[in-house]
A and B are shown apart, each in its own frame.
Chain A
């Protein structure tokens, strides 16, 4: 049997904060990353665990002012079934539908994907493209961190050891469109996976506020800002698509040290972008 470190199951956020302030605990939400890490011993066995599952403060999907707010414990199944998500964040629904299979979607959470900080975390490019902000909390209070600042280096987050991800806020922008694409399976992820989220607003026939975010092509989920500049103020015509795809290929720095794999991923990402622009341009 795998290791069974001691676990506390607080029933309120206040209790959880107090436990975290007193001693380091490894949070467990749906467990679909952390239980695998414990079973496979890919990371040191945590000394103590903090079970978040009873913290109802971290649940719920609602519109608050100009934002769609999702609690950290929101599961992929809940995202897929949420009429609010379908209306305001279809790209997130599409991403959720590609994660694992039903069993993983029933347990895996948005907060877990964020805190796990894998470059292959499938919701993270969507959060980047939608200018999400992530709210973290501890006994010291709450703070808001832009998704763009949340994954600064490989598997790093700005979370302090006593902090939890509480919720995610997606600003609702009139007229914004977001497209999501995932190519390659998780099993094949070592060679072929590319995740892309592209957001823009159309304004007088050209694109504005363009955001292009990618997963699995760098040590962290990233925004491709050079390519965004090519698309900003442009229309999705063939010449623009050719140029954007070439710039994207030059901009990406996949982590694989096997050069053929890195080259393959760059080419795949460029192809995915080109196809998306062609669909939007209708040519």
Chain B
């Protein structure tokens, strides 16, 4: 079978079994290895990507259900600049606040945070913690991750403030 998906804005046709995990399609068939596999059972969130803008765990999504839909991965956050890729404001905030240590959880964490920021929800600590509750981190103790997301939310607020 052949399925069509739009990944980070680019159309792909993938000839693979419909039950292949979106995670394997991204990493193996499309060579996008930014998305990580942790538990493979929906518990850790390392494999989180956005499907039509909503966070999902790509280890539990079969290719046939992504057919015709838009997928966004961590590779889709940075933008092209004259001197190479430029980190997104959210990625820059993670660097600044020390929100990444070993980095295994980071791609999934970034995607959950990206969806949260895009939702326009009030970035209270409680709301941020709920948004990343499905993303486990064994290194940071979460505080710096929450700070990074707060920082990015502040930046976004400034960008969109009236008159700015």
List the A residue with the shortest CB-CB distance to B66.
Answer: A53
Task: Flag if B45 contacts A101 (CB, 8 Å).
Answer: yes
Contact with A along B44-87 (1 / 0, CB 8 A): 01001001001111011110110100000000000000000000
Contact with B along A89-132 (1 / 0, CB 8 A): 00000000000111110110000000000000000000000000
Q: How far is the CA of A30 from the CA of B113 in the complex (A)?
A: 22
Contact with B along A54-78 (1 / 0, CB 8 A): 0000000000000000000000010
Q: How far is the CA of A40 from the CA of B24 in the complex (A)?
A: 16
B24 cross-chain contacts in A, Cβ below 8 A: 1
Interface-side segment among A2-10, A151-159, A192-200, A244-252: A2-10
Q: Does B99 contact A (CB under 8 A)?
A: no
Interface-side segment among A31-39, A216-224, A273-281: A31-39
Task: Flag if A39 contacts B59 (CB, 8 Å).
Answer: yes
Task: Flag if A102 contacts B131 (CB, 8 Å).
Answer: yes
Task: Flag if B55 contacts A103 (CB, 8 Å).
Answer: yes
Select one of B19, B51, B61 contacting A7, CB under 8 A: B19
A48 CB, min distance to chain B CBs, angstroms: 10
| A-B CB pair tally, cutoff 8 Å | 91
B89 CB, min distance to chain A CBs, angstroms: 21
Task: Flag if A35 contacts B20 (CB, 8 Å).
Answer: no
Q: How far is the CA of A32 from the CA of B115 in the complex (A)?
A: 20
Q: Does A51 contact B (CB under 8 A)?
A: yes
Select one of B54, B62, B67, B133 contacting A106, CB under 8 A: B54
Task: Flag if A6 contacts B41 (CB, 8 Å).
Answer: no
B6 CB, min distance to chain A CBs, angstroms: 17
Excluding A39-B41, A100-B134, A107-B60, 14 further A-B contacts by CB distance (< 8 Å) are: A2-B40, A6-B18, A6-B19, A7-B64, A38-B19, A39-B59, A49-B18, A51-B64, A102-B112, A102-B130, A103-B48, A103-B134, A106-B55, A107-B61
Show 7 A/B contacts (Cβ-Cβ < 8 Å), sorted by A.
A1-B28, A6-B17, A9-B65, A51-B64, A102-B112, A103-B55, A107-B56
